[in-house]
Structure 1
Amino acid sequence: MSTWRDRDERKRGRDDYDVPDGPPYSKRGRRSDPSGYRGRGGGAWKDERKVELSTEEKLVSLIERVGNDTKGLLENTIQSLADILIPEMDEYKDKIMQTIMRCAREYSEKMSIYSTLVGALNMKKSDIGEEFVDLLIEDLKSALTMNKFLSVKSLVRFLSDLTNARVVPLSSIVSLYDTLITVTYEPGISQLRSDWYTYVLLSSLPWVGGELQQKRQVELDRLLSAIGGYMSKRTTNYLPALQSWQSDRPYPQRDQLDLLWSQVLKMKEEGWKEGVLVRPYAPLESELSSAYGHPLPNIIIPGHTLDSAYPLPSTVFRCIGESDLPPHVGPSLPQSESINRYLITDIISSIINSHTGNRKACAHQLNVVIERLHHLPVEYMTAEVLFGFIFTLPVPPHSLLYYGSLTIELCKLRPATYPVILTQLIDILFSQLDHINFVVAERFAWWFSYHLSNYGYHWDWSKWVWCLQCAPDSPPCWFVKQVFERCSRLGSHEVFSELVPDDFKPLLTPPNDSYYLYAEDGVQGFEVAKQLVESMKAKVPLERLKEVLDGTDIGNNSEEQLLELKVSILTHCILHIGDKTISHCFTALHKFRSLLLELLETENAKLYCLSAVGEFFEENTQLHCLVIDRLVRQELIDNGSIIKWCFTSSNHPDFTSRLFWDILRSSFSRVNKSLLQCEKELEEIKEKLQKTTGLDELVDGTEDKQELEWKIQELEEKVEERSTEQKEVFLSTCRYLIESLCSHLSTCDEEGTDYETTWYTCITDNTRQLLIQYHTVYRQYSYSLESDCFGGGVDLRVQEIYKQFQGIL
């Protein structure tokens, strides 16, 4: 039999396997130069007709593209590909197997195609099937050990589907499932652990449930009974903290595991039928059954440790129903408890999660799925899944910018339909803002502003004119203000304001201008500030600047008042000098750092500095946050002072302001990253020292053991300092927020007014989000959190926040 390589030698023209159809390749070949220029070698231009892929690249391309062409029978295409791959196994076996595994993970909608391909290879050479199963098992063990939970889910599902291709016996899959379900019997473990392994098992059943029903019904019933027993005793009191909608309007937001359990049970009632998966192994049943199945070895699930970090529970976001689809759409939307709804959303989610580095490739693959499943409204479900990722609490799985840019790519690929669908969903979400989580509403405003910025800020605001009749602090008005502020910041405030209808202009924020307090005569300290700015521009020595500042006189007032005025003058002058670009501002802060450092020795002085920054950037929230971050990096102020300043009465904290929560979150992030970095450095130095035990020579030619021991001692002190700072920042923030909530509730109870205001909702939603986002940190201080923050006479309605937080742990 002639091999593919022989045929290729005889056939010099472009054949069916020569160049792939789409990303990540071009028509010139893989990673080709779009200009066609060869580079070195005389500056000649390449002859595109002579560019050919290597044999290995051709094999990879064939595996990636299998199933993309709808012409001909899919099972015949797979068998032909197996015939091509078999002769190449001696030389390219590792590459072929790794590519099949990667494609099964990245193109989850084609996983059954790759299962069938492995089955066809196993049918021709059983040792190939055995090596492939061994490779999968090694990867599964590694993923379990390293807590790569998404990989565990993908591998267990792939192994399950290989039973349909007769590569793995059903008995082995039953044993694997038994191992997974035994996790739920472990005493004293986190529900997160048992939830995840139950989810892995349930998410694999749609692929193999029918086979188990026919041939292993007793074992299947036993598994389902065990799962049902676990599901009946698990708690979901954390749901309000994770739901995007605060009510069942417009659609219920169910716990992910609960909903999947209902979908699997309904699938069982319907005879394990579904209408989404491609199953090319079915027509090849007789051929595949003749092959030898490879039993799986026993899998040991690693035990639970304090360092184990499991995926947090989540809710399934829903924003569309059958009634939301226009009549011309045609295909009906699968019901919420339909297994088809789960399979489609899972395929979309897998594609989005596996292409985070390439939005164009992701959009292309999503478009392929939309075209393949044209009998279902996949476009609507794609938009719903994307919004679900953006709105995920406590934080989205990936960058908001990725989801925003991916949405734009889909609009480019499907310009006739996708923008229309987005517009419809945006209107649905806007109409339900009264029932949406405050943190989710902030993200919605961010995404919408970013989306508008890519389309010239054009939007039909007239259909939202009804929101102008609402209270100024109502969610719709608040949302429009946030969108206007972000759009003004992303572009030109002047240009954007011209695009806003006159009715909406009262909601526009002022221009992002700075406010220099000492610009006009009559303000206390004007003369000193004027002289200081002139001296700074003249580039006089710092000693002279200090003399000018020391000349500040405020009469018979106290030294503390004099300090406050000095800090205010110096801070305003530095920011005024750098008030051109952010680079100028940072340069000015760096240049005059030593002057500020001399003044900011006390905590009060740091609070005065923060107040001055707040005055200067009152209308520019972006620069406000960036300058505060720069002051921390230059060690002029600390995170504890920032938290205290945020809640001081003189600052008049606006809890509904995005700026307030941005500053808090930035402080949390800085403290946490700083501690993690110190701990990482300490571990690296300890490992370095351990490697040199018993050796007298220098380490890396520069460091001896004594130097390493000094570094360890220094880093240990740093870690202790950072840990103390982290605890103080996290717990003090919690205390301030709880005190504010309790005070509000007490006032409302005395006055007999409704306590569930926008202000109250904003604090409760953001407090829950912070607690859950940093649950690993707060878990370390759970005793202090319970006794110092949520204990004693704290209102029961506030304690409910802590109960929801505990439910997740």
Structure 2
Amino acid sequence: MSRRRHSDSYDEGQDHKRRRTSEATDIEDSLESLICNVGEKSKSSLESNLEGLAGVLEADLPNYKNKILRILCSVARLLPEKLTVYTTLVGLLNARNYNFGGEFVEAMIRQLKETLKNNLYNEAVYLVRFLSDLVNCHVIAAPSMVAMFENFVSVMQEEDVPQVRSDWFVYVVLSCLPWVGKELYEKKDVEMDRLLSQIEGYLKRRVKTHLPMLQVWTAEKPHPQEEYLDCLWAQIQKLKKDRWQERHILRPYIAFDSVLCEALQHNLPPFTPPGHMPNAQYPMPRIIFRMFDYTDAPEGPVMPGSHSVERYVIEENLHCIMKTHWKERRTCAAQLLSYPGKNKIPLNYHIVEVIFGELFQLPSPPHIDVMYTSLLIELCKLQPGSLPQVLAQATEMLYMRLDTMNTTCIDRLINWFSHHLSNFQFRWSWDDWADCLTLDLEKPKPKFVKEVLEKSMRLSYHQRIVEIVPPTFAALIPADPIFVYKYETENASLLPGYPISIIVCNAIKNRASNEEILTILKDVPNPNQDDDDGYEGESFNPLKVDVFLQTLLHLAAKSFSHSFSALGKFHEILKNLTDSDEGKLHILKVVYQAWKNHPQMIAVLVDKMIRTQIVDCAAVANWLFSQDMAHEFTRLYIWEILHSTIRKMNKHVQKIQTELEEAKDKLEKQQNKRVQPRDSGDEEDMEKNSEDEEVQLEEQIEKLQEKVESAQSEQKNLFLVIFQRFIMLLTEHLVRCETGSVNVSTPWYKNCVERLQQIFLMHHVIIQQYMGTLENLLFTAELDHHILAVYQQFCALQL
């Protein structure tokens, strides 16, 4: 009709293409939103929403099948709290389109293999559970699900594999049974009985040496510290006894039974569990945390019993909600409080117990500690009438049970409680805890209160802490965090370094150079040197370090940044003064003496000194375990410094290893490039440049290899120092008690043993690399069984 230039029609074609692409993207985004948000904030019933969504998706299958498959596979893995909603949706789609149902099952099996290959075991649990619930929706035939479970359970017969591998496959099977047990028993009762009988046999012969290392409390009362598989097994046994009837799983597919039962079912393809690989990282065993039972929540709905499957289902769903929404505290809190079926249970008690259960999980919580603090604050804001009361009740219970609580969990409780108080004007009924004032200060209760006030001061200031507690708590209030300058004390003029300290002080104020200050320090007499030694300068001079560092820190005491700046400016002098192991130890001793009233300042200055290589990690470990620090040994900040030091060492090794791997990859790419055919005239020049680059890379790799070996040697040495010091301290204590016929289990002993466990747990991945060395040099058969037991518990974690 009307004529157009060729270019015009081409442009229009491009616009049309762009518009089509844009429309497709919009539809795909819309599909994702519809699927992810189904059942949320809707005036219609969940069933009508699902029916409507199934119709929309069926209509879009011809054009967007792959996208729909991908989204549904993702939600099965990433939104486990809505498991039955999505299995119902897949069931409705399968009833309408049998081929799609088959493709979905195949895609799920592919995804399951991928998650296992990538060590994503938690996500794999959700995928298997999803597949098992598809049996209820008539998508998967029950016999093929039982066959998959039988294959999983066969892993128990494997030889020379770690127990944690068999544990995981047993856990997967048991954790699916609350959802699908009834259906499978109706169809395959003989096979299911055989399966459960095999599992029971396995659970009876399982080794549980690891148990004491993971317990939150050492006491068995009021709540036993059950191992996760034992607890789940008891719950499944009770469920079986109750004829597989449970009342807390939302099952929207029941409303569509007449439609779903007409659908054709799929058989799962034979699934063989992937073999054990040396680099596999199976989940560690866990303890089931219990704080409340039905007597603690007297009003309202009754809390399900510890061994009822409802307790497992509720806790599992709350964990899933937290896993999905942990990065958004407001959304997470709102989702927890709108838990389906919340009117049938004391929800606030369940939520508080699950949050503390995660916070106290050993070796580490699933998420960063501050997430739990911010989540509890948000929950208190959303439920101001009831949740703060439950939280206060929980805090009181935790305080009452401090005597038997694991030291690592007490650390986390201190950090949480002080942070929580800082968000509520530090309001607390301190008089209720006055019982701690009559106890020895080394006992857990007064120590807990003292550490809480210490941490609260970091989030506030000293005078505020003095004001928030009753005067009777004076003995537990932290010291005023002031600098102690020994050359300004009452009898300072009698100290041997006093005259030089004045000269050094003036020199620093007058911006003297490093050389000038070193010249001044040459005149400092050496208390370590014999008068007739004849040669000054060979032996380490502690007074030099004392005079210079005390004076420098005194002048920079105004703030953290002033102190950092001072260490940076006089780095050269400090390195000069600490060129020996004695020097490094002494510089740390001086920092402590000057800032002993301010633990946070000590921690940040030690951190800075490690970063700037004024001291090394082994020196910090030796200092913390030294006699000078014995009176501070059970203080929380000491262990924060030690763990921070270990993490720095580990990061240093990791960084060099990464650099080495990158250099090796670069060299490999370079070599591959060189062997590829070229048709350029500059071939010879390129060849020469390539060879030169390869030579440089090989030299770089050699140097990095040496650095890695040196760093690993340093890392191994750090752990050897730490464990050796622990063994010495504990052995001395045990010998003392035996000689004096005194009870071994003092508060100090409990603290020390649990700190040793903490080192093993927090750094288990690294320590496992050096097991052979530790066994040959330190944890030998001759060691006292009290100490050796800790090492054996650690080994059992990855049996």
Structure 2 unaligned regions, length at least 5: 1-24, 531-536, 675-685
For residue 330 of structure 2, the aligned residue among 331, 346, 360 is 360
TM-superposed deviation, 1:505: 2.0
The 5-angstrom pairing of residues 179-218 of structure 1 reads 179-218=151-190
CA distance in 2, matches of 1:229, 1:140: 27
1:63 and 2:8 matched: no
Question: Which residue in 2 is equivalent to 1:540?
Answer: 512
Change in Cα spacing, 1:233 to 1:291, as seen in structure 2 (3 Å) is: same
1:288 and 2:288 matched: no
Question: Which residue in 1 is equivalent to 2:769?
Answer: 780
What SS does the corresponding residue of 2:255 show, helix, strand or coil?
coil
Which deviates the most, 712-721 or 128-137?
128-137
What SS does the corresponding residue of 1:249 show, helix, strand or coil?
coil
Question: Which residue in 2 is equivalent to 1:391?
Answer: 360
What SS does the corresponding residue of 1:237 show, helix, strand or coil?
coil
Which deviates the most, 229-238 or 446-455?
229-238
The 5-angstrom pairing of residues 237-636 of structure 1 reads 237-326=209-298, 329-369=299-339, 372-520=341-489, 521-522=492-493, 523-553=495-525, 557-558=529-530, 563-636=541-614
What SS does the corresponding residue of 2:154 show, helix, strand or coil?
helix
The 5-angstrom pairing of residues 627-776 of structure 1 reads 627-652=605-630, 654-696=632-674, 697=686, 704-776=693-765
User: C-alpha deviations, 1:282-335, integer Å up to 9, x for none?
Assistant: 232231122232332233433223322211111001111111113xx3211111
Does structure 2 retain, via aligned residues, the 8 Å contact 1:646–1:653?
no
Change in Cα spacing, 1:538 to 1:345, as seen in structure 2 (3 Å) is: same
Change in Cα spacing, 1:219 to 1:703, as seen in structure 2 (3 Å) is: farther
Question: Which residue in 2 is equivalent to 1:49?
Answer: none
1:126 and 2:110 matched: no
TM-superposed deviation, 1:654: 3.0
Does structure 2 retain, via aligned residues, the 8 Å contact 1:655–1:762?
no
CA distance in 2, matches of 1:269, 1:754: 46
Change in Cα spacing, 1:549 to 1:61, as seen in structure 2 (3 Å) is: same
TM-superposed deviation, 1:232: 1.3
CA distance in 2, matches of 1:283, 1:418: 34
CA distance in 1, matches of 2:378, 2:689: 49
Q: Structure 1 counterpart of 2:185, which letter?
A: Q
Which deviates the most, 766-775 or 145-154?
766-775
Does structure 2 retain, via aligned residues, the 8 Å contact 1:109–1:277?
no
Does structure 2 retain, via aligned residues, the 8 Å contact 1:255–1:315?
yes
CA distance in 2, matches of 1:700, 1:402: 53
The 5-angstrom pairing of residues 9-24 of structure 1 reads none
Does structure 1 retain, via aligned residues, the 8 Å contact 2:403–2:444?
yes
CA distance in 2, matches of 1:276, 1:602: 66
User: C-alpha deviations, 1:628-651, integer Å up to 9, x for none?
Assistant: 121111122111111122222234
Which deviates the most, 153-162 or 299-308?
299-308
What SS does the corresponding residue of 2:425 show, helix, strand or coil?
coil
CA distance in 1, matches of 2:65, 2:330: 30
What SS does the corresponding residue of 1:177 show, helix, strand or coil?
helix
Cα RMSD after superposing both structures: 2.2
What SS does the corresponding residue of 1:281 show, helix, strand or coil?
helix
Question: Which residue in 1 is equivalent to 2:787?
Answer: 798
CA distance in 2, matches of 1:87, 1:766: 61
Does structure 2 retain, via aligned residues, the 8 Å contact 1:106–1:351?
no
CA distance in 1, matches of 2:636, 2:485: 23
What SS does the corresponding residue of 1:163 show, helix, strand or coil?
helix
User: C-alpha deviations, 1:611-632, integer Å up to 9, x for none?
Assistant: 1111122122122122112111
Q: Structure 2 counterpart of 1:771, which letter?
A: F
Does structure 2 retain, via aligned residues, the 8 Å contact 1:241–1:805?
yes
TM-superposed deviation, 1:195: 0.8
What SS does the corresponding residue of 1:398 show, helix, strand or coil?
coil
Does structure 1 retain, via aligned residues, the 8 Å contact 2:528–2:540?
no
CA distance in 1, matches of 2:345, 2:689: 62
Q: Structure 1 counterpart of 2:398, which letter?
A: L
CA distance in 1, matches of 2:671, 2:539: 58
Q: TM-score, normalised by structure 2?
A: 0.90
How many matched pairs? 754
What SS does the corresponding residue of 1:230 show, helix, strand or coil?
helix
Does structure 1 retain, via aligned residues, the 8 Å contact 2:527–2:542?
no
More helix by share: 2
CA distance in 2, matches of 1:620, 1:701: 57
CA distance in 1, matches of 2:688, 2:448: 58
Q: Structure 2 counterpart of 1:634, which letter?
A: T
Does structure 2 retain, via aligned residues, the 8 Å contact 1:348–1:382?
yes
CA distance in 1, matches of 2:265, 2:673: 53
Change in Cα spacing, 1:622 to 1:92, as seen in structure 2 (3 Å) is: farther
1:111 and 2:83 matched: yes
